[in-house]
Amino acid sequence: MIERYTLRVNSAALGRPLEALLAVRLQPHRQPYVDAFVEHVLAQPETRTLYHLTGPDDYIIHVAAVDAADLQRFVLNELTSRLEVALVHTNLIFRQWHGKPALPPGAETGTSGAGPGTTRRTHR
């Protein structure tokens, strides 16, 4: 169930205190363009996480920048300058909270997820 163990990095402590979520739409949304876009975005030091989505936007990029000018440079030079990028919406992150780790269905209540009222008992 555990794919990897990660640490949560404080972007501000690394000199990148400005974080944003960038919603990106590609045109055309075809495999060669998608592959090149993903490779390019993941190679950038500002990129923290890249999500491929359904809906009106194709990607959300979580980025950490030095300041507003650095974020603007990233959007203009690394995203909108690419021919396949049709649109970028920038949302600054003021504050973030982290939820609990994902658990199997029923683990929070002591049920196994096998059905209502089912509980898991452990004998020692």
Tell whether the model's pLDDT for residue 26 goes beyond 90.
Answer: yes
CA distance 84 to 41: 13
Rounded average pLDDT over 8-12: 83
How much is the pLDDT for 118? 46
Picking from 58, 45, 52, 117, the residue whose alpha carbon sits closest to that of residue 86 is: 58
Q: What pLDDT does 5 receive? A: 74
b/e per residue 96-117 (b: at least 16 CB within 10 A): eeeeeeeeeebeeeebeeeeee
Lowest mean pLDDT among 11-15, 67-71, 74-78: 11-15
Amino acid, res. 9? V
DSSP string, 69-81: HHHHHIIIIIIIT
Q: Determine the pLDDT at residue 60.
A: 98
pLDDT, average across residues 49-64: 97
C-beta of residue 85 within 8 angstroms of C-beta of residue 26: yes
pLDDT band of 66, cuts 50, 70, 90: very high
